[in-house]
Amino acid sequence: MKISNRITAIVAGLCLALPVFAQQSGKDVYTKVCSTCHATGLAGSPRLGNGGDWAPRAAKGVASLYQSALNGTPKGMPAKGGHMTLPDAEVKAAVDYMLASVKDAVKAAKPEVEPKKEEPKKAEVKKEEPKKEEPRKAEAKPAPAPAPVAASASSSVVATEASAADINSFNRLLKPASKRNLPPPEDGIHDPSNDGTHALQPPLTAFSSLPKSMSGNRVNWVEAIGQKKINPRYDRNDPKAEPIVMDMNIVREVKGSMPDVVYPHKQHTEWLDCSNCHPAIFVPQKGANAISMAAILLGEKCGVCHGKVAFPVSECRNCHSKKKDIAKAPAPATAAK
Ligand code: HEC
Ligand code: HEC
Ligand code: HEC
Ligand code: HEC
């Protein structure tokens, strides 16, 4: 299942590259890819034309911004905007384009230390963070922190800020390596003053024999269940209860250049009850639900779970896994919500 998904994803990736052969201008790339987030400041991204957003970042130097754009940042900038087929030069051109949109503001700003501290819209996102009910059957995963809690500071490879509150408040599993899968007393979720906390098995030990993934808590849970490495109990009370697994894929066509989304019922109903999603999150009718990336990033729709108890939103290809029919494919993406 997983493997065939990956293959589809790779094929989709190749196909995506096709319209891209002639070098695109920074503006084109911005419009097709980056504007999804950078037009409105989605998830705390610096907005096009907003000097205040960009000045502290520009102070780090353009080389550093190129690096962030190419490799992503732990705070939500996906590598190449999630479009891994983009040539480096085009990604850099898009950075140049965004910087040009704030030239004056950036020049005015002193090229100094201490990047951003106050970032109003980030704070907004944080406050809004939905205290959604967790799906009750997703218990095999580490529970997400109920609220951002200050984690013990450790010199991390990445961000300057040390508190967990700053790290991807919308996407708790997208953490820098040094903050990932900490032992229970340090994870900011469990009470370190409780003796029971110290008796718990640390995730790194518990996960060591499970299939790996590149994101989230680094476990490929779908494969883990497929290979019978884990056998999650379906019902808290009844050890014999079995899930009703339903194999039905729903394809959601996506406007623009991203591959279409395949929503697989099978991989979900291995863990979840129909009532975890129907009808509270999704009306059970194909196409009846308005789903957008913006909603997902804000923790609604698929984002109720993805980025919290399931693989994070950075794994574009896991969801956008169906290549488009070239014939009727990409009119330049409007990426409108
Ligand atoms: C899915 C949303 C999303 C998309 C798409 C996206 N970005 Fe970002 N970007 C972000 C977020 C969130 C941040 C802020 C992250 C941070 O502070 O580290 C960011 C920050 C940046 C920064 C500043 C990084 C820094 O070190 O301060 C640059 C440069 C950037 N993006 C370039 C791009 C380019 C170029 C594209 C298109 C090829 C793009 N982004 C597409 C979300 C996105
Ligand atoms: C993780 C969330 C989730 C779970 C769990 C889930 N579904 Fe769905 N279901 C969806 C989504 C998303 C759609 C597509 C909605 C859309 O396209 O707007 C859907 C669509 C449907 C449809 C409509 C199909 C059509 O062609 O119109 C039916 C019927 C359905 N689900 C039944 C079930 C049943 C029965 C279960 C339990 C065995 C279940 N679902 C579990 C998310 C879920
Ligand atoms: C958890 C699954 C999931 C992941 C992961 C995901 N998407 Fe999406 N995406 C969706 C769904 C569902 C839609 C809505 C499709 C539709 O219109 O019905 C969507 C729509 C989109 C759209 C169309 C415009 C919009 O906002 O609705 C773009 C562009 C997009 N995604 C880009 C991305 C990028 C870039 C990434 C990786 C950073 C990504 N997606 C990761 C599920 C996902
Ligand atoms: C109620 C929680 C929940 C919701 C809502 C949800 N998912 Fe998932 N999803 C999961 C869990 C749990 C897994 C399995 C664990 C993992 O892969 O991290 C999963 C796995 C997946 C997989 C991986 C399949 C594989 O073979 O690896 C895809 C694709 C996916 N989800 C897409 C979506 C899309 C698209 C939506 C929205 C239409 C969505 N999910 C909504 C919980 C959810």
- CATH number of the domain that 100 lies in? 1.10.760.10
> How far are the Cα atoms of 25, 173, 249, 262 from residue 141, in angstroms, in the given order?
43, 11, 24, 23
Burial 29-52 (b: 16+ CB within 10 A, else e): bbbbbbbbbbbebbbbbbbbebbe
Q: Is residue 13's pLDDT more than 70?
A: no
In a domain, 149, yes or no: no
Q: What is the rounded CA–CA span in Å between residue 219 and residue 311?
A: 9
In a domain, 172, yes or no: no
Residue 81 located in a structural domain: yes
Ligand 4 centroid to Cα of residue 319, in Å, is 8
Q: Which of 62-71, 185-194, 283-292 has the lowest mean pLDDT?
A: 185-194
Candidate from 8, 302, 304, 317 with most ligand 4 atoms within 8 A of CB, to mutate:
302
Number of domains in the chain: 1
Three-point CA angle 135, 297, 245, nearest 5°: 35
Give, in order, the Cα–Cα distances in Å from 60 to each of 116, 120, 157, 304: 11, 20, 16, 34
Residue 327 placed within a domain: no
206: which 2 tokens? 């518990």
Does 191 score more than 60 pLDDT? yes
Look at residue 124 and tell me whether its pLDDT is greater than 60: no
- 335 assigned to some structural domain: no
Q: In the chain, what percentage of residues exceed pLDDT 90?
A: 34
**Distance between CA atoms of residues 131 and 308, nearest Å:** 11
pLDDT band at 285 (very low <50, low <70, confident <90, very high): very high
Q: Exposed/middle/buried for 86, CB within 10 Å: 0-12, 13-18, 19+? A: buried
pTM above 0.85, yes or no: no
Task: Give the closest residue (by CA) to ligand 4 atom 39.
Answer: 302
- Ligand 1 atom with the smallest distance to the CA of 92 is 35
Range of the domain at 97: 20-119
Tokens for 178, please give them: 């040094």
